[in-house]
Structure 1
Amino acid sequence: MRIDDLQLFVRAAELGSLSAAARLLDLSPAVASASLKRLEQQLGVRLLARSTRNLRLTAEGEGFLQHARSALASLEEGRRILAHGQDQVSGTLLLSAPSDFGRNVLLPWLDELQYEHPQLNVRLLLGDRNADLFRQAADIALRYGAPEDSSLVALPLCPENRRVLCASPAYLARHGAPAEVAQLAQHNCLLYQLGSRVHDHWRFGEGASEVGVSVSGDRFCDDADVVRRWALAGAGIAYKSWLDVANDVQAGRLKLLMPQLRGEAAPLNLMCTHRAQLGKPVQLLRNMLRVRCQAMLEKLLG
């Protein structure tokens, strides 16, 4: 039994006119007439008594009308429930993220996402070593820097993010602030190590205007969050991703040094092995990160 046949019958009964029902449903008179005839043949009864001037329900039509209305209402409710279900976000979001950004920026955003979508589960892996998405139990990874593996899908989240120099007010009160890049060599610089490489050569600018300086300090760590914590504690000067320290700078816990310098690029990307992994939870996360990271970047540029 076709839904459009039921719809035509109900509308014709309500309007008292087959032609009016046909116009409402954008059908030709011939199609409307064939639709009603098909329904009556399936039921084996006459539903509407028609003449050239009027139309009325037969006794059988009156009895069937309520059932037809209920059936259409039930189908519409089913459609609504399905549509609502498609709006729900469920399942498990498996992702890895850099330690500092993950702990201090991403965590509260994930809390908001789960509050809005209580059926969503999150499995978060934190660490600064690049996650091997082909081996690690993560569907997506948030990574700083240009993608190194061309076999991965890379979606930019904050391509204009850069590193900035920063230190705590307490450190600056004791040691003063460097006025030029060369003076960084005279300060205790907090160093970050990735793998076997210690990032002790800090670069600024681009192309012909690029300048660099080799720095040193009394501590280094392979966890970027530890470097940030040392900076907050007044242990020295850090060269950090703006996204990692933006909240600290806004709150006055850290001060930008030589803000006129253009630090090294630190683009944030969302990485996955295949676009099939970009389901609704990932799309929601991606949209949230793009909007919020851009808002944080505008505070630096502004």
Structure 2
Amino acid sequence: MDLFDSMRVFVRVVERGSFSAVARELNIGQPAVSKQVRALERYLGGPVFARSTRQLALTDQGQRFYHHCQEILGQLESATRSFASGQEQIAGPLRIAAPVSYGRLCIAPLIGSFLQRYPEVRIDLRLNDHNEDLLTENIDVAIRIGVLKNDGLVAVPLGSSVRRVYAAPAYLERYGQPRQPAELAGHNCIGFTLLTHYDNWQFSRGEQALEVAIKGNVTSNSSEAIREMVLGGLGLSLSPEWLFAADAAQGRVRSVLDDYQATALPVSAVFSPERRRSARTKAFVDFLREHL
């Protein structure tokens, strides 16, 4: 058994979800594909696929092995290209994690330009508002908004996320527009619970610093949901400019308290120290610093 060939076949079966599809892709018989996977399982000492299910599903060990195979085969491909060209190639799989709204509005639009510059990279963009474990989920680089915890990861600053207080015109017409932060206490304020102090909104004006304990009848851990509720006239939200930029331009929301500055949130790219050596990780982080 050629271990690398078996790993390649295994990865393609997982990605295509079918033994027969991989057989057609490789122009070999399906029994040959099955034989490669069985040989790999004998080598590993256990199953990679759960045979008891109707659909093709990985075992827990198979899932972990799949992620390792992706990384190993990517490194092998990079090493081969590096040997041929005399320098490390920016090629292979790149797994990126980002918050849902920020990933959709700020990261996804840049992917095309990045791939035009580095056409040999294969992007897997994973959007999740909860911080994923980079090692467990085999993430190359994650985009995080807010103050970072000291968790042993390498962090590269990308900039800051400016925030404003937004409301729909219908809400402001019904309840009035706050002129100073203290007036927020009389409004329905929607809190974003993934922030540590989501129920305290902080502002500054010159040398003056203000903190307001907000109240409201709804909170959410999804910025997408908060946007929809604000557009529906439910209340006020302290949100990043990028979340409401298009809505504000089209008059669907208005920013208030513009004479005051809300505390901005840092935006960072984080990755494990081991991934610092990856040329494609470094290239993507440098690309984000250039464009963000």
TM-score normalised according to structure 1 size? 0.60
CA spacing shift, 1:223–1:251, aligned 2, 3 Å: same
Q: How many Å separate the matches in 2 of 1:269 and 1:280? A: 18
Is contact 1:153–1:275 with CA below 8 Å preserved after alignment? no
Partner of 1:106: 107
One-letter identity of the residue aligned with 1:90:
A
Partner of 1:155: 156
Is contact 1:204–1:262 with CA below 8 Å preserved after alignment? yes
Name the SS for the 2:193 alignment partner: strand
Unaligned runs of 5+ in 2: 1-82
Query: Equivalent pairs: percent with the same residue?
Result: 29
Q: Which runs of 4+ in 1 moved over 6 A?
A: 82-88
The structure number with the bigger radius of gyration is 1
For residues 212-233 of structure 1, what are the alpha-carbon distances to aligned partners after superposition, in whole Å with 9 as ceiling and x for unaligned?
Answer: 1111222211112211222233
Is contact 2:89–2:279 with CA below 8 Å preserved after alignment? no
CA spacing shift, 1:167–1:112, aligned 2, 3 Å: farther
- 1:1-302 superposed matches below 5 A: 89-158=90-159, 160-194=160-194, 199-205=198-204, 209-274=208-273, 276-277=275-276, 279-293=278-292
Is contact 1:162–1:265 with CA below 8 Å preserved after alignment? yes
Unaligned runs of 5+ in 1: 1-81, 294-302
Name the SS for the 2:161 alignment partner: coil
For residues 172-203 of structure 1, what are the alpha-carbon distances to aligned partners after superposition, in whole Å with 9 as ceiling and x for unaligned?
Answer: 233332111111112221111128x6711111
Q: How many Å separate the matches in 1 of 2:256 and 2:181? A: 10
Is contact 2:275–2:281 with CA below 8 Å preserved after alignment? no
Q: Displacement of 1:116 after TM fit? A: 4.8
Q: How many Å separate the matches in 1 of 2:123 and 2:192? A: 28
TM-score normalised according to structure 2 size? 0.62
CA spacing shift, 1:96–1:175, aligned 2, 3 Å: same
One-letter identity of the residue aligned with 1:185:
A
Is contact 1:162–1:264 with CA below 8 Å preserved after alignment? yes
